[in-house]
Amino acid sequence: MKNLTFANGDKLPIIGLGTWKSKPGEVKQAVYWAIESGYRHIDCAAIYQNENEVGEGIAEAIKAGLVKREELFVTSKLWNNSHKYEDVKPALKTSLADLGLDYVDLYLIHWPISFKRGVGFPETRDDFYTYLDVPLSQTWEAMQAVKKEGLAKHIGVSNFNQEKLREIISLGGQIPEMNQVEMHPYLAQKELVRFCREKGILMTAYSPLGSPDSRNESHKNDPVLLKDPVIELIAKKHGASMGQILIAWSTARDIAVIPKSVNQGRIKENLAASKIKLDQNDLMELDDIGVDFRFINGKFFTGPQSPYKLSDLFE
């Protein structure tokens, strides 16, 4: 399988297992199955509230002799309520304890916005900090400190637009090594991808299948990526599933991709997408797909009670 390479030569397997929305009781088994199937890249986050089970799955796979710790690439993310300098290291330590690990391979600032300590999701204006209260520079300084200490091998960000990336780069220290954002043919993020390439920032695509498990009442009118006729035709041409085509689209762009599944067959199928080679015609058709849509719209962070605007999150 293709790898992405960090500046120091470390490798990131381009396809990983996503664990967002993997329910307790399911994610431990999913992680074990993934490692058994050949995955070496697992993507986690504190706010997913399942890192302890992810850790159990990793521990069982290591105990079974399927893998050594150093062969795995594990990502975690700093939640918005731990952006103060003094809160970053304890937050990472909690994730490490839950995961049963001494270090993570990659630690990301999950969103470029800040809540008060102890707030999971804000309900009132008082639950938020502003950029004046906790500037991103303070959080990034603490991220660099945990990297120096060896608690994270690499550091980066998630859901950062060009403006926020420029702000971090202008500080003159370590530049973010990764930016993880929503990406699929309906949201190709071309300008952001170009910017990150120019700056030497690797990228990871989340919700690469269009977040099909988000179809609640408020999303009932969203377009369905996995029913798109263009993708369906390309899938038939390659004898592949539509999900595999969407994963192959990211790998063709040299962007890491983290499809989530707790189904053993689907987990294997997603990894097998690494063998699919889309041709120029496929890529051109996906490029001209004619739908522009963001599934994770950030409105839950930018409502009337919030000091943040959508422009703080997205281009």
Class of domain 3-312: alpha beta
Q: Rounded to whole angstroms, how far apart are CA atoms 264 and 32?
A: 10
The pLDDT, as a whole number, for residue 216 is 56
Mapped onto helix, strand or coil, the DSSP state of residue 193 is: helix
Q: Residue 280 has which token pair? A: 């120029």
The whole-number pLDDT of residue 177 equals 98
Catalytic residue among 32, 48, 107, 206: 48
Mean pLDDT of 58-86: 98
Helices (H), 14-109: 27-37, 51-63, 85-99
176-199 pLDDT, tens digit per residue, is: 999 999 999 999 999 999 999 999
Torsion on CA atoms 33, 24, 294, 284, rounded to nearest 10:
10
Q: What are phi and psi of 3, to 5 degrees?
A: -115, 155
Domain locations in the chain as residue ranges: 3-312
What is the pTM assigned to this prediction?
A: 0.96
Please report the sign of the dihedral spanned by the C-alpha atoms of residue 291, residue 297, residue 303, residue 306. negative
Indicate the residue type of 269. E
> SS in 3 state form for 133-165?
CCCHHHHHHHHHHHHHCCCEEEEEEECCCHHHH
110 is in an annotated binding site: yes
Which residues lie closer than 8 Å to 313 by C-beta, 6 or more apart? Answer: 111, 112, 113, 159, 161, 298, 301, 302
Instruction: Summarize pLDDT for 198-221 with one digit per residue, the tens.
Output: 999 999 999 999 976 655 556 678
Residue 20 contacts residue 260 (beta carbons within 8 Å): yes
Query: Does residue 48 carry a catalytic annotation?
Result: yes
In whole angstroms, give the CA distance from residue 223 to residue 249. Answer: 19
Question: How many residues in total does the chain contain?
Answer: 315
Q: How far apart are CA 117 and CA 126, in angstroms?
A: 11
Specify the pLDDT at position 213.
Answer: 60
122-177 pLDDT tens trace: 999 999 999 999 999 999 999 999 999 999 999 999 999 999 999 999 999 999 99
pLDDT for the residue numbered 218:
62
Say what the pLDDT of residue 41 is.
Answer: 98
Write the CA distances from 115 to 48, 77, 88, 138, 175, integer angstroms: 17, 15, 13, 14, 24
Per-residue pLDDT tens digits for 48-61 = 999 999 999 999 99
Task: Select, from the ranges 11-25, 27-41, 206-220, the one with the highest average predicted confidence (pLDDT).
Answer: 27-41
Cβ neighbours around 154 below 10 Å, total? 22
- Inter-CA distances, 55 with 18, 50, 102, 152, Å: 14, 9, 11, 16
Residue 22: predicted pLDDT? 77
